[in-house]
Each structure stands twice: as C-alpha cells, then as structure tokens.
Amino acid sequence: MTEELENLLRPDLRGQTPYGAPQLDVPVQLNTNENAYAIPADVAAVIEEHLSREVRGLNRYPDRDATALRADFAAYLGHGLTADHVWAANGSNEILQQLLQAFGGPGRTVLGFMPSYSMHPLLARGTGTAFIDAGREDDYTLSADHVRRAITEHDPDLVFLVSPNNPTGTALDADVIEAAYEAARGIVIVDEAYVEFARDPNSTALNRLEGRRRLVVSRTMSKAFAFAGARVGYLAADPELVEKLLLVRLPYHLSSLTQAAARGALACAAQLQAEVDELKHQRDRIVKNLRAKGLPVADSDANFVLFGGLADAAAVWRAVLDQGVLIRDVGLPGCLRITAGTEEETTAFLDAVETVMARRPELFSTDS
C-alpha cells in the first residue's frame, strides 16, 4: 500500500494484516476444519433442483427476510423454536458482525477468552468495538469463576463464548454459560460452529435460550453440513433480539440462490450429517494415536485436534507439509492443529507425524 493510502486508512487498521489460512495444492489438506466428505450425488441433485426453481426469477430481489429458510432452520434446531427465533446470513462471520454492529460499536466493548476464534477480535475492530481478552487457564480451559470475574471486572456490552472452542476443541460446561449470562448486563453469544461434533449431543446452549432474552446461539452450515463453499450461517435468539438485527442487515443480503441451496441442504440434513460420526471417529483416532506417541492433546468436541509437545512448531508444520499433508499453525507456542479427515487422510497425517518424529526427534519435546 502506498503511503498516501496508508494515511487515508482508518488509524486502527493501519499495519494490520487480513485474516487468512494457507491455501496450498497438496494431496491432503487438513488445515481449515472443512468437512472432509463431498456432498453426495443424490443430495446434490436435490440442491440443484432447489436452485433451478430460482434461476428464472433472478431478475427479482430475494426474500429480504429469508422467511422460508429461517423456518427450515427452526425445524432443524427444534427446542420449540420458530422462524421468528432464527436469523440467517452469509456465514456465521456475518452473523457475528451483525451482532457487533447492532449491539457494539464505538465506545462499546466485547469480551472474549483467547485463544479462541481469531476472527472475533478482527470483527470487533471492523465494527469499532473494543475487544477485551480475558484469557484462559494454562490448559486452555474456561471455568465459571474465571468468566464471572472477567465480566464483573470489565462490564462488557457483549461476551463471546465458543463451544466447542476453536482452536482447542474443548466444550464449555453448562455452568460457564449460566455464569456468563448471570454476570453480564449485555449480549452473551455462544458460538457453536462445531457443536454437531460434540461428544455430548445435548451440550448445546439452545437448552438455555428460553427466558434469556440476551442469549444468542450462533451456528454454521459449513462444518457438519459440508457446506463451507455456500457460506451460510444462522443464529437462534429471542425474537425481539432477532428483530433488532434488521436495523443493520444490508438490503437483500442473502441471495435467492444461497437461500435455495441452503433449503435444499436442510431437506437432506440427516444424509448430509451421516459422515459426522465417522469424522468424530477419526478425531478420536488422532487423539489416541498422538497421545500414544507422548504428545499432549486437548480433549476435542470438534472436528479437529490441537496437539502440543513441539519444540519447534513451525518446523514440524513444514516437515509434515513436506510429507504432503497441510495442517494449521494457529500461533500457540509448541502447538499445531489438525482437522479430522477421511480414514485415508487421517492415516496420511499420522504416518507423516511418525516419519517426522523418527527423522527429526529434536523437533519434539516429548518423553516418547
């Protein structure tokens, strides 16, 4: 960027770098927590049928409020929710951005607990909301007492909780969410992008929505639905809160084609999520195998695993990449993150780690 444009940029954005993950053409890509399985042909046919109905009407704007899609999401979520309890947008990032636009902004604060989803502080900055990091325990867990103390100390306008957390994969206990809601005066957002992979299927914060008008549960279709390329996110909350988001949404923000594709996918929800159990199996296989090698591994309720025991994480990342497997360096000292893949992809990763450990043991700080 030229000096002239740099000076014209907002001061809080100067010198910043955009969010991104390496996109490399390698045989095994396990770095961005995508669903490893492609959409089945028969499900693709259903989605294509939904899309074909919309093509001839593309001269008209889409349903501005995505009413039918929101009703489908409500039916999928259950818990007595209706379309009025649901909002949809282009990925859960836009959902979170709209929440910050509506309830954050200049002079307001959002509290997070890092390490967590790295987009949270970036979305806060983009909306002029001050981000406060209250941290976590040394083992990356989050307790009710920690959350309660942080909220009491900082008195934020919004609170970000992530369950299962990214990049650690750890799920929150119910008492953490309860403590956050009781201590906060503002909006409490539980980001559940990976909740379909949780070991306890009843761990969702949807169980606590009723009667809590400031609680929001954010979801995505990217992971369990294998729908990352479609960019569809949604939330569940009190209808009055959902209505407030209409003040900041862009006109016709969700295209007719996006809505149609999402409705087609939701019609096939059970089939699309049939591979979730297999991905959970591969995740648990990674955990068991890495621990057997003497590497510390965080318990995971997501479709990825954070592992440590690395004397030089960057060098291990590169050495695994040289074996044709792309994983993620999330910036945590001595740690890397691996997405659960197909059985073959998972095997390729485990074989790559074994090879690197044998050839370059100095890169690992393990007793094995």
203-223 pLDDT, tens digit each: 899 999 999 999 999 999 999
Residue 367 clears pLDDT 60, i.e. is over it: no
Q: Is 100 exposed, middle or buried (0-12, 13-18, 19+ CB in 10 A)?
A: buried
CATH H-level, domain 22-38+274-363: superfamily: Aspartate Aminotransferase, domain 1 (3.90.1150.10)
CATH number for 41-271: choose from 2.170.130.10, 3.40.640.10, 3.30.70.20, 3.40.50.740.
3.40.640.10
Ordered by start, the domain boundaries in the chain are 22-38+274-363, 41-271
Span 141-156, mean pLDDT? Answer: 97
**pLDDT tens-digit readout, 238-282:** 999 999 999 999 999 999 999 999 999 999 999 988 899 999 999
Residue 293 clears pLDDT 90, i.e. is over it: yes
Question: Whole-structure pTM over 0.85, yes or no?
Answer: yes
Residue 1 clears pLDDT 60, i.e. is over it: no
| 33-50 burial: b if 16+ Cβ within 10 Å, else e | bbbbeebeeebeebbeeb
Span 163-168, mean pLDDT? Answer: 96
The two tokens of residue 188 are 């409490």
Element (H, E) at 89: strand 86-89
Domains 22-38+274-363 and 41-271 agree in fold: no
| 137-162 burial: b if 16+ Cβ within 10 Å, else e | eeebbbebebbbebbeebebbbbbbb
**pLDDT tens-digit readout, 81-121:** 999 999 999 999 999 999 999 999 999 999 999 999 999 99
**CA-CA distance, 350 to 344, in Å (whole number)?**
10
Of residues 16 and 220, which shows the higher confidence score?
Answer: 220
**CA-CA distance, 338 to 261, in Å (whole number)?**
29
The two tokens of residue 37 are 């399985």
CB 112 within 8 A of CB 100: no
Mean pLDDT over the full length of the chain = 94
CB 170 within 8 A of CB 307: no
Span 42-58, mean pLDDT? Answer: 96
Span 10-15, mean pLDDT? Answer: 84
**pLDDT tens-digit readout, 320-365:** 999 999 999 999 999 999 999 999 999 999 999 999 999 999 999 8
Confidence at 181, pLDDT banded by 50, 70, 90:
very high
CA 259 from centre of chain: 20
Least confident of 14-18, 42-46, 296-300, 348-352: 14-18
Count of CB atoms situated within 10 Å of the CB of 342: 16
